[in-house]
């Protein structure tokens, strides 16, 4: 039996050189193409069309579009009573885009269960470039001036594509997610892309959506291609998050 083939993209190919999503493999779920580069234009085109990069430093750039897709409607974020009680006692503060490079570096640090990370130096450089161009954004959680958690992703139009999060303090990444969703709701964002389902994400209100439906949602919410720049300037405390 012939092994399934994926499309190889050259660095010289145009950003729109990705194959149709129907050609993505079923196993591994969603593997669509390999190669190309991490230029801003290719990354933005990929996100707009339900594709994202995910690979480690021993592999070529791999492009994915899993089916189904894990998404969270910002209005559907589930906050438990226990978490609300903890927030009322918390002394952390939350900021946006104050320390993007530190957040992505922390997300790329080694995890206890994994020796490697998919956030390679090339990925860090590419997303720092997207941040400078107002496409990539971070949420930071601080305690007594120390960065204790956060997350980052890409915003295009009314869609936010979550990439990674980290915690050095219990619930810090969940606080970052709450702050992000509160802000996305205020600005009528249609979706927060979570890429692949996990029990943790599903417990927070995420759902699985057929890929074709997700692609159609992006066609609407990412058109026209507009960078979102209306982020809070001053840090927020947890009381503000509970009452927004």
| 225-239 residue pLDDT tens | 999 999 999 999 887
pLDDT (tens digit, 9 = 90+) per residue, 136-195?
999 999 999 999 999 999 999 999 999 999 999 999 999 999 999 999 999 999 999 999
Q: Is the pLDDT of residue 114 over 50?
A: no
Q: Which of 49, 67, 1, 56 is nearest to 34 (CA)?
A: 56
CATH code for the domain of 42:
3.30.70.3550
Is residue 2 domain-resident? Answer: no
* 1 domain residue, yes or no: no
Domain total of the chain: 2
- Domain end residue (candidates: 66, 96, 111): 66
Dihedrals φ, ψ of 171, to 5°? 70, 10
Q: In this structure, are 61 and 75 located in the same domain?
A: no
- State pTM to two decimals: 0.95
Last residue of a domain, one of 40, 66, 92: 66
Question: Going by DSSP bridges, is the β-strand pair 146-156/69-72 parallel, antiparallel, or unpaired?
Answer: unpaired
Structural domain including 31 reads 7-66
List the CATH number of the domain containing 154: 3.40.630.70
């Amino acid at each position: 039996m012939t092994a399934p083939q994926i499309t190889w993209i050259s660095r010289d190919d145009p950003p729109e050189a990705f194959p149709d999503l129907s050609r993505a493999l079923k196993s591994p779920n969603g593997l669509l193409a390999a190669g190309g580069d991490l230029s801003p234009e290719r990354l933005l085109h990929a996100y707009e069309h339900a594709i994202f990069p995910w690979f480690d430093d021993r592999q070529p750039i791999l492009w994915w579009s899993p089916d189904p897709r894990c998404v969270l409607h910002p209005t559907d974020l589930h906050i438990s009573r226990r978490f609300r009680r903890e927030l009322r006692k918390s002394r952390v503060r939350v900021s946006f885009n104050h320390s993007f490079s530190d957040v992505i570096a922390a997300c790329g640090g080694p995890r206890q269960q994994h020796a490697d990370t998919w956030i390679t130096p090339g990925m860090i450089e590419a997303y720092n470039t997207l941040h400078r161009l107002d496409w990539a954004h971070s949420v930071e959680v601080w305690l007594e001036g120390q960065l204790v958690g956060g997350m980052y992703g890409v915003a295009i139009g009314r869609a936010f594509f979550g990439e990674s999060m980290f915690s050095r303090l219990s619930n810090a990444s969940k606080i970052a997610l709450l702050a992000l969703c509160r802000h996305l709701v205020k600005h009528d964002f249609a979706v927060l892309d979570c890429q692949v389902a996990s029990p943790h994400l599903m417990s927070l209100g995420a759902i699985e959506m057929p890929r074709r439906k997700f692609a159609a949602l992006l066609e609407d919410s990412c058109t026209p291609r507009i960078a979102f720049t209306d982020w809070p300037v001053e840090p927020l405390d947890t009381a503000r998050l509970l009452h927004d």
